[in-house]
Amino acid sequence: MKVVALEDILGTEHDVDGGNWISRRLITKKDGMGYSVNDTLIKAGTETHIWYQNHLESVYCIEGEGEVVTLSDNKVWPIAKDQLYALDKNDEHLLRARTDMRMVCVFNPPLTGNEVHDENGVYPVDEG
């Protein structure tokens, strides 16, 4: 059994500031669960290019509103509190926050905990 308190993550190497977002990595690869879980804040008025070529992600919005634009078809997906979106095809997308948003993000394969997006919006995959 493991219990993780958000307050124990704040200010550590697992409290990652990506500029437009702050991601607190609650469960990471080292926990051996086969996935990772993040509590992520998206800053109002931002647009973030993301393309998880190496990961699948499900995102549950618990606060705020914004939209996701899938770049393969330029479809706009409004996102609001109590909605989940799943990037089940490694979708290249833009995440736009109208207000501050708080998201619970689940990644497979799991993140190690200190990743930031590269110039293409990609997280590297940890082969180790």
- How many helices (DSSP H) and strands (DSSP E) are in the chain? 1, 10
Res 122 pLDDT > 90: no
- pLDDT tier for residue 127 given thresholds of 50, 70 and 90: low
Is residue 65 within 8 A of residue 76, CB to CB? The reply is no
Tens digits of residue pLDDT in 101-118: 999 999 999 988 766 666
Tokens linked to 77: 């997906």
pLDDT of the residue at 52: 87
- Hey, what are 84's tokens? 């989940």
- Stated as kind and residue range, the H or E segment containing 85 is strand 83-87
- How confident is the model over 7-24, as pLDDT tens digits? 999 999 999 999 999 999
Hey, what domains does the chain have and what are their CATH numbers?
6-108 (2.60.120.10)
Whether the predicted model's global pTM rises above the 0.85 cut: yes
